[in-house]
Amino acid sequence: MMQILGRRGSDMRSLVALRHFCAAFALLLFGLSPALAEKRIALVIGNSAYSNATALANPRNDARALADKLTSMQFTVMLHEDLDGQSFRIALGEFSEAALNADIAMVFYAGHGIEMAGQNYLIPVDARMRSESTAQFETIPLEQVLESVRGAKKLGMVLLDACRDNPFANTMQRKDGTRAVKRGLSPVPVDGERGLIISFAAEAGRTADDGDTRHSPYTEALLETIDQPGIEVNRLFRAVRAKVREKSGGKQVPIEYAQLPDEDIYLVSGAAPAPDPVPPPAPVVQPAPPVEDPLLIYIQASSRRDLAKLEDFLRRYPDHIRAPDAQRLVSQLQEDKIWAAAQTADTADGYEAFLSAYPEGANADRAKERLAALRPPPAPQYTGSCSPLNGALAVSGIPPDDTLFLRQGPGTSFSEVGELAFNTVGVHEVGCNNGWCEVVHGCTRGYGSQKYLRAGVASPAFSTDQGNYSATGLAAGGRIPVLSGPGAQYATVSELTADATGIWVNACDTNPGDPYAWCSVSWRNVAGWVYGAYLLDGMGRQPFAASQPAPPPQPAPVATTGQSCFDLWYARNAIFAARGYCFSSAEGKKWFDNSQCTTSSPSLSAAEKSTVDAIKAREKAQGC
């Protein structure tokens, strides 16, 4: 089958395609020989119409004739004519993909080629070739063509009728004034190759004739020889070489560079022709086995990110100069492999295993986030008392009618585990990262937005509910639940006794449908939220919701009659402790945590000073 993909001669191609279809149909009728059952593919290119040089007469004719011949030999042929640079690269890429699983892959090119600095290049028809510096970007490296056939299972073949006297060689500007740009093509090393043959129309450094007939001498000899039955590939090219030498009177001699497979390869099976009428070749000393190049092994393995080959490189060449680079890439690929497995399993155990192996890896933060979602911290449990309220952080920048949410993890996608009032102080910092801080306040632990947590004082706003309260509404021995947030949906973290006095209310918040407000409280190292129905201030008032009738506010709320001297003392000193006061008395050290105190002269707000004065007056009245 032949695909005619060039840019010109559509009518001619239609006739050619019809002729090839008939040939293929006839082969199906009469059967195929075993050799023809192979998968064979060929890329055939003929470049004649050069924009910046004299046109070549024969390359298009050569390409079409060889395409016909290969089609009859059961090759799938991709025929192109007069390819510019972009079309050349696209055609080569499409062929490379199609040739991956072929038994035999062949590239035939007729047109101009050039050697620059010891490397060979094929020249598209639109190349200007003004200088050596720009020419390498306009041409197609022969190495890319070789790479396209290396994936063939049995044999890759590159046939170049591209050694013509090059018109660009004399006009190009050189980098250094030397003869780095030469006529003809340079030899191609094949050490380390397997199943590859490269055939030039002329010897290295020499030019080939374009021919005075319809075809070049090289292509004409190839057309006469390639489909002979029973001729092995190596012998086939010897026969082509002999024909060209004879036709040119010895002026042109093709050359091959090959590392053929151990088995004989026949393009057409059948009875072998009579031996060539040429003298037997002189004995050839077989070259020593090719020496492996560790650098080439590393480059191939790293470019393909092949973990197994990189590990093999490190085992065999542990002291190579590129061994550290290989080790880094192996580590990265191993991490990527374990990370992919963790994502596939998507379990807490999987992410924990990844973090154990790569605690500082590129995906460590993503693993921590996913782990936090799969295995959230346990809900706060009742402990009887809570952490001292003497942390260095305070809530700041929150309106008086709002609260700061604490969440299970560092982000708004995590559910709420508690709330802090707008003027909360004494918050302990566990750690901050990416705009979120893990904090502890009393009985509640969670993550809050860092921009609302500041070191030092709280918001200057004063809550109208702030002051000392007593427990109410329960019989003796009853317990008042303390929650982590203002609402029944939050966990119980502690409790108050039914006869508790000196309960400090920081602020209150309302929930729709609740007749009483929820209040942020602290009492003897117990901190959290209590429903307003259980709280009574010194004036006999309770914190009603805004929609409920409430007694008019009174100044300077203090504890109710019957508060003990200890309750008054504790309520007063709790205000100082929240401001980082360092206690010196034995009693103060007993009831308040001095481990994180910061000052012996704390700064109190006006509201706090008023409350302290009110408590002192009450202590004096009770003779404390």
Q: What is the pLDDT of residues 332-352, one digit of tens each?
A: 898 999 999 999 989 888 888
Q: Which two tokens stand for residue 563?
A: 């508060």
Identify the residue with better confidence: 594 or 87.
87
Structural contact between residues 116 and 108, judged by C-beta atoms closer than 8 angstroms: no
Q: Does residue 344 share a domain with residue 384? A: no
Cβ density class 85-97: b for 16+ within 10 Å, e for less: bebbeebbebbbe
Closest CA relative to residue 42, chosen from 205, 190, 222, 201: 222
Q: Does residue 323 share a domain with residue 252? A: no
Is 512 a domain residue? yes
Q: Does residue 428 share a domain with residue 312? A: no
Q: Is residue 326 predicted with pLDDT exceeding 80?
A: yes
At residue 111, what is the residue type?
Answer: G
The CATH code of the domain that includes 228 is: 3.40.50.1460
Three-state SS for 12-67 is HHHHHHHHHHHHHHHHHHHCCCHHHHCCEEEEEEECCCCCCCCCCCCHHHHHHHHH
Of the ranges 16-20, 39-43, 143-147, which one carries the lowest mean pLDDT score? 16-20
DSSP string, 321-373: TTHHHHHHHHHHHHHHHHHHHHHHH--HHHHHHHHHH-TTSTTHHHHHHHHHH
Closest CA relative to residue 264, chosen from 240, 234, 284: 234
pLDDT band at 95 (very low <50, low <70, confident <90, very high): very high
Rounded CA separation 505/407 (Å): 23
Q: Which residues contact 141 (CB under 8 A, 6 or more apart)?
A: 119, 120, 121
Is 277 a domain residue? no
| Domain termination site, one of 522, 537, 558 | 558
Is 611 a domain residue? no
Rounded CA separation 379/558 (Å): 34
Identify the residue with better confidence: 86 or 524.
86
Q: Does residue 421 share a domain with residue 362? A: no
Is 617 a domain residue? no
Is 354 a domain residue? yes
DSSP string, 370-398: HHHHHSPPPPP---SS---S--SEEE-S-
DSSP state letter for 101 = T
Question: Counting beta carbons within 10 angstroms of the beta carbon of residue 67, is it exposed (0 to 12), middle (13 to 18) or buried (19 or more)?
Answer: buried
Is 434 a domain residue? yes
Distances in Å between the Cα of 377 and the Cα atoms of 60, 430, 524, 529 are 75, 14, 26, 20
Q: Which of 196-210, 259-273, 405-419 has the highest mean pLDDT?
A: 405-419
Q: Is residue 243 predicted with pLDDT exceeding 60?
A: yes
Q: Does residue 250 share a domain with residue 299? A: no
Q: Which residues contact 102 (CB under 8 A, 6 or more apart)?
A: 39, 40, 41, 151, 152, 153
Average pLDDT, stretch 43-68?
91
Structural contact between residues 62 and 110, judged by C-beta atoms closer than 8 angstroms: yes
Structural contact between residues 139 and 77, judged by C-beta atoms closer than 8 angstroms: no
Q: Is residue 34 predicted with pLDDT exceeding 90?
A: no
Is 447 a domain residue? yes
- Classify strands 436-441 and 444-449 as parallel, antiparallel or unpaired: antiparallel
113 forms bridges with which residues in the sheet? 122
| Domain termination site, one of 339, 357, 374 | 374
How much is the pLDDT for 286?
58
pLDDT band at 383 (very low <50, low <70, confident <90, very high): very low
Q: Does residue 107 share a domain with residue 25? A: yes
Q: Residue 483: which H helix or E strand, with range? A: strand 479-483
Q: Does residue 404 share a domain with residue 546? A: yes
Closest CA relative to residue 63, chosen from 119, 125, 118: 125
Q: Does residue 92 share a domain with residue 222? A: yes
Structural contact between residues 124 and 140, judged by C-beta atoms closer than 8 angstroms: yes
Is 212 a domain residue? yes
Identify the residue with better confidence: 173 or 437.
437
Question: Counting beta carbons within 10 angstroms of the beta carbon of residue 475, is it exposed (0 to 12), middle (13 to 18) or buried (19 or more)?
Answer: exposed
Number of domains in the chain: 3
- What CA dihedral angle connects 615, 620, 621 and 624, to 10 degrees? 100
pLDDT band at 593 (very low <50, low <70, confident <90, very high): confident
Q: Does residue 348 share a domain with residue 490? A: no
Distances in Å between the Cα of 61 and the Cα atoms of 107, 136, 163, 199, 210 are 16, 27, 17, 19, 11
How much is the pLDDT for 11?
45
Q: Does residue 186 share a domain with residue 109? A: yes
How much is the pLDDT for 511?
78
Q: Does residue 538 share a domain with residue 483? A: yes
Residues of the domain holding 311: 294-374
- Classify strands 104-110 and 155-161 as parallel, antiparallel or unpaired: parallel
Identify the residue with better confidence: 619 or 6.
619
Structural contact between residues 231 and 178, judged by C-beta atoms closer than 8 angstroms: no
Of the ranges 25-29, 151-155, 533-537, which one carries the lowest mean pLDDT score? 25-29
| Domain termination site, one of 523, 558, 593 | 558
Of the ranges 104-108, 329-333, 520-524, 601-605, which one carries the lowest mean pLDDT score? 601-605
Q: Is residue 494 predicted with pLDDT exceeding 90?
A: no
Q: Does residue 427 share a domain with residue 367? A: no
What's the Rg (C-alpha) of the chain?
45
At residue 129, what is the residue type?
Answer: M
Structural contact between residues 198 and 148, judged by C-beta atoms closer than 8 angstroms: no
Q: Is residue 163 predicted with pLDDT exceeding 90?
A: no
Per-residue pLDDT tens over the stretch 530-588:
988 889 888 878 887 654 444 433 333 333 334 567 767 777 787 787 778 888 888 77
How much is the pLDDT for 548?
42
Closest CA relative to residue 221, chosen from 268, 282, 161, 295: 161
